[in-house]
Each structure stands twice: as structure tokens, then as C-alpha cells.
Amino acid sequence: MNNRILVMTAVGKSELRDVQTKPLSEDEVLIKVEACGLCTWERYIYSGEEPAGFPFHGGHETAGTVVEMGDAVQGLTPGLPVAVVSWKRCNACVPCRRGFDNHCETMMGELPEGTLWGPAGFAQYLVVKRYEVFPLGDKVPVHFGILAEPLSCVVRSIKRSHIKPEEKAVVIGAGLMGLLFMKVLKHRGNRVVVVQRSEARRKLALSMGADLVVDPQQEGWENLVIDYTGGYGAEAIFYTAGGASMLNTCLHLAAIGGSILMYAPLYDDAAVLEADVIHFRELNVVGSIRHDKESAFEAVRLLGSGELDLQGLNLVFEDLERFEEGIERANEDRNIHRIMFRA
Ligand SMILES: [Zn+2]
Ligand SMILES: [Zn+2]
């Protein structure tokens, strides 16, 4: 079948190509892409901030409908709305077997000759393994499926923080990820403080249900957070942005025995953490990256339930032919809208 795809050919360069979809193996599914979210990762590859090989076929936040299945595929029917949570899993390497399939040693895989690398959602059609396909149900519009992958990362992080219902959380940053953290925590019965520099984003976080929003540019803002927790600090802090000094501040916002979940990397911004605070206050500093099979399942179940009110996220369709404009728009509004491409 003819498939129109968007390929990044170099930093700041892209082109549409017409290719043929490959014949399905018995465990594969052909998906018609209804929407594919533009994530920070792909924007950074395009701008050159994230080193990557070109040509690159991006698009890992994919929602679509089933077109056709390989002979061994069960549990799907043509026309079914689904989310695709992609990246390969072998189920046989040591990380996979230890429950860290998000670190699967074959994840990037050996590419067959002539194959473009990348998750390949910026396209009309996409061929994926059955295990990457999650039926969405009929309670949410199909394009909400683009949130399955980011939500899976959030669900995994929250689990690793060991925060209990009713406890207080602080989310640092109110980009898409920060807002998803806030929504899932609220759904679980947590009270959530969001720390965010931009006023527009603070307003958005508040309108979407944050209990308190705080501007970290304001003198003494840390005390507002501490006061909100009755002087004890929050049981979990979710760091999604802000740099090394913010990460250090997180240690001081946590309750005794609390967790600091490091979702975002610091890269070159070397962290000097006050290690003694970790000792004396018995803190857990824990990382989380990507999603695993379990968190993907839980995230799609939550998404499909329709119980998370995600209307405020402003998912905006853009034609795949207008890829450059979509990138520009996302760069301009610093992702306060989530651009979704469709061919
Ligand atoms: Zn993403
Ligand atoms: Zn593996």
C-alpha cells in the first residue's frame, strides 16, 4: 500500500516521501495513523540539540485505527481505535526479565538494510508489533491516543515515587508532562502544588485542577510550598524541568522519608546535591525514564476510562504536509499546545 511519510533528512530539513508499506509478519498490525503527537524529543532532534542519525523517521505518540492484521494476531479487528506505545521489546534480555523492559537491550534493534530508523508515526500508515497496540475503547476520541505514551511514562514515575493516595505532591514544571503528572496525581487523590515560571502555564495548571500554583521567580516561594504542607514538606516531588539548583531545592521541599522523582535529565548542568539532606531526612532520590509494559497498560486503561479531564491540553491538528509550520508553532508557544500531525 502506498504510504506518505515525513522524513527528517538533516538538522532543520525534512521531506515527504511516498513509500510502500511492508508486508505484514504474522505478529504485526497495519495501523492508519489518525494523529501523531510532536514531542520535545523529535523537536530537539530536528533542531540539532539532541544528537541523532539522519535520515530519521520520527513520531512516537501515535493514535490510529487498525487496518489489517498478521495471521497470528488476536484481539483486534479492522477499524478498532487504538493507541500505539512503540519501541521494541525482546522479553528475553536481562533488563526485560528483571521488569525493566524500558531498558531492553534490543530496543534500538538492528535495522534491516534500507530501513529508516525511528518510531515512524509521522506517516499515513504504520506497521507495528501486536504488543505495541492498545485498544482505546469508545469513551475518548481516537486522537487522545497520542497521550498514551507520555501518560505511560507518568504512571511509571508515580509508581516509582511510592506516593500514597491523600499525600501531597509537588510537580516542578507545567509542560505537557508536568500537567499529566498533576492530572494523574489528582485522579489518585493527591493534593498537588505546581511550580512553574510562566504565568500562562500556571493559569493553565490551575484551570486543570492544581491545588496551588507557585512562581519560582518569586522571593521565598519555597515557603509557600512548605506552608501548604503544614510545615512538613511534600511526600513526593516530581522534577520535570528547572536545572540543577531546582533539583537541589527539591530536597528541601520533601517531607521526612519523601521521594524526589527525577523525570528529566540535567545533561551538562552538573548537579551538586546536598547529600546530607538525603541522609538526615531519609529521602529517596529516584529516577524514571520511558515506560514499561505494565505502565503502558495502566496508562491506556486510565486514558480509555475517560475519567481524566484532559480538555485543557489543547491538542491541535496540523497537516503532515505542514510539518515545518507545526514545528515552528510548537517552538513558539513552548508546547502549551500539543501539535498532532495527520496525513
Ligand atoms: Zn513523547
Ligand atoms: Zn529485552
CATH homologous superfamily for 154-287?
NAD(P)-binding Rossmann-like Domain (3.40.50.720)
Instruction: Work out the mean pLDDT of the chain and round it to a whole number.
Output: 94
Question: Cβ(153)–Cβ(183) under 8 Å?
Answer: no
Beta bridge partners of 214: 195
Ligand located closest to 146 CA: 1
For 141-165, give one letter per residue: b (16+ CB within 10 A) or e. ebbbbbbbbbbbbbbbbbebbebee
What's the CA gap between 71 and 60, in Å, rounded?
25
| C-alpha of residue 148 to centroid of ligand 1, in Å | 9
Q: What is the 3-state secondary structure (H, E, C) of 150-163?
A: HHHHHHHHHHHHCC
| C-alpha of residue 224 to centroid of ligand 1, in Å | 32
Given a cut of 70, whether residue 200 has pLDDT beyond it is yes
- Report the SS3 class of residue 194: strand
Polymer length of the chain? 343
Cα Rg, the chain, nearest whole Å: 20
Ion ligand 1 — residues with CB < 5 Å:
39
Residue-level pLDDT at 336: 72
Q: Which among 35, 42, 47 has a CA at the least distance from the CA of 123?
A: 35
| C-alpha of residue 162 to centroid of ligand 1, in Å | 23
Average pLDDT over residues 121-131: 96
Residue 61: all three cell numbers together? 505518540
Question: Cβ(319)–Cβ(159) under 8 Å?
Answer: no
pTM confidence score: 0.94
Q: Where are the beta strands (DSSP E) in the chain?
A: 2-10, 13-20, 28-37, 61-69, 81-85, 125-129, 133-135, 168-172, 191-195, 212-214, 234-239, 254-262, 284-287, 315-319, 338-342
Percent of the chain with pLDDT over 70: 97
Could you read off the pLDDT of 8-50 as tens digits, one per residue?
Answer: 999 999 999 999 999 999 999 999 999 999 998 999 999 999 8
| C-alpha of residue 98 to centroid of ligand 1, in Å | 24
Kindly list the domain boundaries of the chain, sorted by start residue: 2-139+306-342, 154-287
Give the angle subtended at the CA of 23 by the CAs of 101 and 105, to the nearest 5°.
20
Ligand located closest to 88 CA: 2
Given a cut of 80, whether residue 262 has pLDDT beyond it is yes
Question: Cβ(90)–Cβ(45) under 8 Å?
Answer: no
Could you read off the pLDDT of 130-184 as tens digits, one per residue?
Answer: 999 999 999 999 999 999 999 999 999 999 999 999 999 999 999 999 999 999 9
Could you read off the pLDDT of 270-314 as tens digits, one per residue?
Answer: 767 899 999 999 999 999 999 999 999 999 999 999 999 998 898
What's the CA gap between 127 and 115, in Å, rounded?
13
Question: Cβ(305)–Cβ(139) under 8 Å?
Answer: yes
Q: Which among 136, 28, 129 has a CA at the least distance from the CA of 83?
A: 136
Which CATH code of 3.40.980.10, 1.20.1250.20, 3.90.180.10, 3.30.160.60 fits the domain covering 2-139+306-342?
A: 3.90.180.10
Could you read off the pLDDT of 79-89 as tens digits, one per residue?
Answer: 999 999 987 89
Q: How far is CA 112 from CA 61, 108, 117, 119, in A?
A: 23, 12, 10, 14
| C-alpha of residue 133 to centroid of ligand 2, in Å | 18
- Report the SS3 class of residue 116: coil
